[in-house]
Structure 1
Amino acid sequence: TYYKNVADVEFDNTKGTKLAENTRFRFKTFGFPIEAEITEFEAPKGDQPGRLAWHGWAEGDAETRLDVIHAWLIEDLSENRVRILTQESQIGKPAVALHEDPTDPMNIGHQDWLRGLAATLLKAKAGK
């Protein structure tokens, strides 16, 4: 719900729509169907940041295959603030094409994703 560049989200091994450790899921983003699995899932605790990471892939030939790792560190800060650090690695010709696109859709999409995630986290934090 916090990222508008995603469609057709389906979960394989969990009930509901919330991510959890080892969750397997599928979605489409930037027009590509991605299979994914949560590889790290740890909530922030005290001074320790939370960690969320998933490995995703799109099967296909040399022109369409993708392999992606996306990770976030999520820190609860004072004064109802949150800090999110993210890093992503992408391998495949579709990733290269998005990187070389002068309209910068990947960075713009990821910035939207971060804004949505931050808003969702702050809303949940305020509701505690």
Structure 2
Amino acid sequence: MNAIIWPEGYVPGYTENYVSNEVIVAGLSAADIWPLLATPSEWPGYYTNSANVRFYDEQGPVLACNDRFYFETFGFPVEAQCNEFVAPAADQPGRVAWHGWAGEEGSESRLDVHHAWLVEDLEGGRVRILTQETQKGKPATELHAAKPNPMINGHQDWLDGLVSAARARKAQAQ
């Protein structure tokens, strides 16, 4: 199976926090999942921890490399820039990732993250959805220490909502 591509400075194990969530489900494909993930305005409809999504510079509604966007999650107002966007194709997984940040640069409240997704079709009519995030800064240290880990639980909610929304759309189309 494929893996996340990590930019320098965000490799797991070298940051203050790292989370990984994955689901493999039958009856869906990367094509079913991708539109819901690649269009940030869709996120609040299936993931309640996402709100107030907007793009800058008349970009969007579908992400593209270098797009700047904003959303709120985990109580953080997140500025973000998409730094990887490859739609799924035959024998090629879909990949989307962004650098997100909150707080003033250099301050104790600064949080920097790399949030990446991989969506790939597997044999037998299954799809694998992997999301991983590394975080840097004092807020990341605090999130890492929290039990249960809110990032692991929140990202699982995101995955579960994404799968449910894709199943509902597929059922409506049939």
TM-score class normalised by the smaller sequence: 0.7 to 0.9
The residue aligned with 2:99 is 55
2:142 aligned residue: 97
**What is the percent sequence identity of the aligned residues?**
58
Q: How does 1:74-113 map to 2 (within 5 A)?
A: 74-78=119-123, 80-113=125-158
Q: SS at 2:92's partner residue? A: coil
TM superposition score normalised by structure 2 = 0.64
Change over 3 Å in CA distance of 1:13–1:120 after alignment to 2: farther
- Higher share in strand: 1
Q: Which runs of 5+ in 1 are unaligned?
A: none
Deviation larger for 61-70 or 74-83: 74-83
Matched residue type, 1:43: A
Q: 2:35 corresponds to which residue? A: none
Root-mean-square deviation (CA, aligned residues, Å) is 2.3
Q: CA deviation at 1:77?
A: 3.3
Distance in structure 2 (CA, Å) of the matches to 1:118 and 1:5: 16
Q: TM-score, normalised by structure 1?
A: 0.84
Instruction: Tell me by how many angstroms 1:16 deviates.
Output: 5.3
| Bigger fraction of residues in helix | 2
Q: What 5-or-longer segments of structure 2 have no aligned partner?
A: 1-44
Q: By how many angstroms is 1:119 displaced? A: 3.4
Q: How many residues end up aligned between the 2 structures?
A: 128
The amino acid that maps onto 2:149 is: D
Q: Distance in 2 between matches of 1:108 and 1:71?
A: 16
Query: Alignment partner of 2:46: what SS?
Result: coil
